[in-house]
Amino acid sequence: VWHTDSSFKVVPALGSALSAREVPPEGGETEFADMRAAYDALDDGKKQLIQDLTSVHSFIYSQRQMNSDGRYNLTAVMSDEELEALPPVQHPMIRVHPESGRKAIYVGRHASHIVGLPIEEGRALIKELNEFATQPEFVYRHHWRTNDLVMWDNRMVMHRGRAYDPRYKRVMHRTTVAGHVENNPWVVRKQVA
């Protein structure tokens, strides 16, 4: 599922690096969506619409969406204390790269709704933006080879892993670099279903 690492935290990840130690003979690719190019391709009306919007990112929301069929119990994987340490947070829907000044759409699977919009209307807009940004012209698919190393900027890129045959091993090592967000003191204390 398309996401940016740690967008459910007050301080989301700046970047990540993924290293392939052992890869299956097919499948298991990682796809990257360029959220800068997607923003650039939006029509002016859509850019204006989302320019000042803020979305709420929630770990619990995204995990519940992934577990909509009830295959696993989130509280069996994480303690109540761990879940409480990840309250929903707010982030602007448009991020501006601090060095280049480039704008990028900032959504993904952890975005649960949009502040100031009815829940379903906000979710529909998030879905629309996610689908727009993950069109083939904005996506690079990396076919892993042993010892490949890929690094990316989580502020400007979404990514997702692709399925592979579980009969084969896939061993990946990931490092995530914490970022910083200026002027974002908000932590939303109310969980949204």
Per-residue pLDDT of the chain (193 residues; tens, 9 = 90+): 898 888 877 778 889 999 999 999 999 999 999 999 999 999 999 999 999 999 998 877 766 666 555 555 555 566 777 777 778 889 999 999 989 999 999 999 889 999 999 999 999 999 999 999 999 999 999 999 999 999 999 999 999 999 999 999 999 999 999 887 555 554 454 555 5
> Tokens in use for 97?
């790269």
Query: Is 3 among the residues known to form the active site?
Result: yes
Query: Is 110 among the residues known to form the active site?
Result: no
User: Which residues in 48-170 belong to E strands, given as ranges?
Assistant: 54-57, 89-92, 94-96, 103-105, 111-114, 139-142, 149-153, 157-161
**3 state DSSP class of 92:** strand
Pick the catalytic residue from 71, 174, 180, 189: 174
pTM attached to this predicted model: 0.84
Question: Is the domain defined by 13-178 classed in CATH 3.30.470.20?
Answer: no
Pick the catalytic residue from 5, 57, 95, 110: 5
- The whole-angstrom separation of Cα 97 and Cα 32 is 17
Query: Is 43 among the residues known to form the active site?
Result: no
- The whole-angstrom separation of Cα 89 and Cα 70 is 25
Q: Quick one: CA torsion of 118, 123, 125, 131, rounded to 10 degrees?
A: -170
- The whole-angstrom separation of Cα 133 and Cα 193 is 25
Query: Is 5 among the residues known to form the active site?
Result: yes
Pick the catalytic residue from 95, 113, 123, 159: 159
Where along the chain do its domains lie? Answer: 13-178
